Amino acid sequence: MEGVWGMIIATILSRLIFSFLFYILNYKTCGVFESMQRDLGKLSNINRRILNFAGHALAISITVLLGIRLGISRVVAGLILGFLSALIDICFGDSIIGNVTNKNE
């Protein structure tokens, strides 16, 4: 499973795992990302969308460049992309885990 499907599965699993870990760090333990979320929350919706898109585009670019320059496998690139995507999501307050728990409460 070294091909594109391996990268997709690794990205999804990595994003879920890191979203869960970042959620625990932010909301249950020590509020690591609260100041960044507060600052990004003050921006208008259009600016938040632009920054969110730019962050994801930068994460994809970093992953592709690491894959080319260091010759990492697609699975490892998927893990890196999942980590960066989860980090961007928690900074903007769009965490997968946070949205699920908010709907259940």
* pLDDT by position in tens, the chain (length 105): 567 888 899 999 999 999 999 988 888 888 888 888 888 889 898 999 999 999 999 999 999 999 899 999 999 999 999 999 999 999 888 777 766 665 555
DSSP-derived secondary structure for 19-59: HHHHHIIIIIIS-TTHHHHHHHHTS-HHHHHHHHHHHHHHH
Q: Residue 3 gets which letter from DSSP?
A: S
